Amino acid sequence: MGKDLQEYLIKILGARTICFNEKLRYMLNSVNSAIFLHKLLWWYGKSGDPEWIFKTAEECEEETTLTTSQQDTAIKKLVDLGIIEYKVKGIPPIRHFKLNKDKIIECCLKYTESLNPSGQNNGINLVKSEVENGEKEISEVH
């Protein structure tokens, strides 16, 4: 019955889903900001420009289901945290996003440290150690 229900719903609604890393929700304290950042991370490097991601508000809504108002709130939070740079250019208005990779890694490390203050997460500690010791640049950690 469960598989039949899934197949039935896919026929009615389509198979397209919106996914995001749930830890981003807790790190950012916002589902919408997590959805938006996750989508920016997915778009990163796919726009033909190695640094900037270009999307209209309509494209963002189509891909995230977030209204323009919800996007604006998420963008403001991400800008305020230093996670992204943001500007609008052109007619129609095209939104330009640039990820601050250093800040994203910093926020992730702080979040994971807050979950495990005893330092038992070896994967996170290894990444943090490599960055702090200059063995890796933040841009090498993706």
pLDDT in tens, the chain (142 residues): 567 888 888 888 887 778 888 889 999 999 999 999 999 999 998 878 888 999 999 999 999 999 999 999 999 999 999 999 999 998 888 999 999 999 999 998 888 888 876 655 555 555 556 656 655 554 444 4
pLDDT value at residue 138: 46
Confirm if 78 and 89 have CB atoms less than 8 A apart.
no
Predicted local distance difference test score (pLDDT) of residue 141: 46
Q: Which pLDDT does position 61 carry in this prediction? A: 95
Sign of CA dihedral 101, 107, 111, 116: positive
pLDDT for res 118? 66
From edge to edge, which strands make up the β-sheet containing 52-55? 52-55, 94-99, 84-89
pLDDT in the model for residue 91: 87
Q: What sign for the dihedral angle of Cα 97, 101, 103, 107?
A: positive
Q: What is the pLDDT of residue 67?
A: 97
pTM of the model: 0.76
Q: In the chain, what are the domains?
A: 16-99 (1.10.10.10), 102-140 (no CATH)
In whole angstroms, give the CA distance from residue 75 to residue 65: 15
Instruction: Round to whole Å and give the CA distance between 15 and 6.
Output: 10
Tell me how crowded residue 118 is: count the other CB atoms within 10 A of its CB: 6
